[in-house]
Amino acid sequence: MSVWTETPVLTGRHVTLRPFREDDLPALVEAAREGDLWNIFYANVSMMKVPERWLAAALKERDVGRALLFTVETPGGEVVGTTRYMRIAPQHRRLEIGGTFYATRVQRTGVNTEAKRMLLAYAFEVMKTQAVQIRTDALNKRSQAAIERLGAKKDGVLRGHQVMADGRIRDSVVYSIIDREWPGVRANLDYLLGKHA
């Protein structure tokens, strides 16, 4: 198995990340619909309103080797979200964690912290990345706070970075964690996870 091309199964106490299957799509649509999550205009969850388009884009990135897609499950096997490694660049030993959303009912639980802990551990300890990037919309203050709580450092803002489906021009806030920072970030994530024990 090539660690840069095969999606692993990552299992923790609060959540399991496993390879995405196309039959996960209806449950992901329901997770996006929950709490009207997909109507938050600055979150990419709105793409789930046209699930076939989301699926085609996600599979295209996976099939050209630029993404590894995960389905997020509770310990009971309930699908509650998705995340991915994206913008994979093995020649530069870097990637991005993104395309993430969770059903409203599991937000502010240990799900996101543990998912990021497992994704970062696999990236730094197995894939031997030298940098992991995370981006979010400049308007998404909640996401920025969550990324900063993980221990990522803000690299800057890409102004006029993307034209969104509704025509809005998005500024993206870029964060990263580099390999020498990982031990401290890991200790922080373990501390945060201890609060959800």
Residues in the chain: 197
Could you tell me if 73 and 95 are in contact, meaning their C-beta atoms sit under 8 angstroms apart? no
Could you tell me if 7 and 17 are in contact, meaning their C-beta atoms sit under 8 angstroms apart? no
pLDDT value at 44 more than 80: no
**Confidence tier at 40 by pLDDT (50, 70, 90):** low
The residues spanned by each domain of the chain are 10-194
Q: What is the mean pLDDT of residues 67-88?
A: 96
The architecture that CATH gives domain 10-194 is 3-Layer(aba) Sandwich (3.40)
% of the chain exceeding 70 in pLDDT:
94
To the nearest whole number, what is the mean pLDDT of the chain?
Answer: 91
Q: What is the pLDDT of residue 19?
A: 97
Could you tell me if 107 and 72 are in contact, meaning their C-beta atoms sit under 8 angstroms apart? no
pLDDT value at 49 more than 90: no
Q: How many angstroms separate the CA atoms of 121 and 46, rounded?
A: 29
Q: What is the mean pLDDT of residues 84-97?
A: 97
Q: How many angstroms separate the CA atoms of 188 and 87, rounded?
A: 25
pLDDT (tens digit per residue) in 97-129: 999 989 988 887 889 999 999 999 999 999 999
Query: Over the range 152-186, which residues count as b (16 or more CB within 10 Å of their CB) and which as e?
Result: beeeeeeeeeeeeeeeeebebbbbbbbbebbeebb
